[in-house]
Amino acid sequence: MTEQTSSRTQSKTLRRRPRRSDGSWGWATRLPLVLLAVAAGLAHSQAAPQPGPVVQFTHAADRATFVGGPKWFTGTAHVAMLFAPDGARTFGGATVTFEPGARTAWHTHPAGQTLVVTEGHGWVQADGEPRRDLKPGDVVWTPPGVRHWHGATPKSGMTHVALQGAHEGQVVDWQEQVSDAQYQGSTP
């Protein structure tokens, strides 16, 4: 038997299924599929109901925005809350826009912080380290408990998205203001 004949025989064998005289499949062939579909539907309908919508959505106009207070910032910083830690989401986020010369006070984050710079130019400094330049597209990770500050340069504003984890309900521990000498980089 040649290879070609062998493959034709196999094809004919694989195609033999019970068909009705009109060429359609009979109930005997379709019944297992129908039963499977019904069983899947019943299992889905008996699953625990989902609490509320699966995807949550908020409009920008519905979220809190405020000017950062003098205990936390020097100069003017506009804070637009994005989301807070909630249930499975263990971190919060905000967009912060610093006007030229504005900066945070020294602070730490018990679960760390990630900054994503989106506009302008700024600086970030960890205590005891040199000040670092920031520009759009830069991403900064500050590990838990590291004392640091960040803000705009004197001549340029800066916007970043700040993401920080929560630990025991806390996302930040604010400390004293950054001095002008520290901000200008003349002292670490």
Question: Is residue 73 a part of any domain in this protein?
Answer: yes
Token pair in block for residue 117: 């710079």
Question: Is residue 105 a part of any domain in this protein?
Answer: yes
Domain total of the chain: 1
Question: Is residue 106 a part of any domain in this protein?
Answer: yes
Question: Is residue 176 a part of any domain in this protein?
Answer: yes
> Per-residue confidence of the chain (188 residues) as pLDDT tens digits?
555 554 454 444 444 445 555 554 454 444 444 444 444 454 444 555 566 678 888 899 999 999 999 999 999 999 999 999 888 889 999 999 999 999 999 999 999 999 999 999 999 999 999 999 999 999 999 999 999 999 999 999 999 999 999 999 899 999 999 999 999 987 65
Query: What pTM was estimated for this model as a whole?
Result: 0.70
Question: Is residue 25 a part of any domain in this protein?
Answer: no
Residue type, 4: Q
| Pairing, β 122-126 against β 148-152 | antiparallel
Question: Is residue 6 a part of any domain in this protein?
Answer: no
Domain that holds residue 152: 65-184
Question: Is residue 91 a part of any domain in this protein?
Answer: yes
Question: Is residue 38 a part of any domain in this protein?
Answer: no
- For 67-122, the DSSP string reads EPPTTTEES-EEEEEEE--BTTB-EEEEEEEEPTT-EEPSEE-TT-EEEEEEEE-E
Give the CATH number for residue 151: 2.60.120.10
- E strand spans, the chain: 65-67, 73-74, 77-83, 91-98, 103-104, 107-108, 113-120, 122-126, 132-134, 139-142, 148-152, 158-165, 173-174
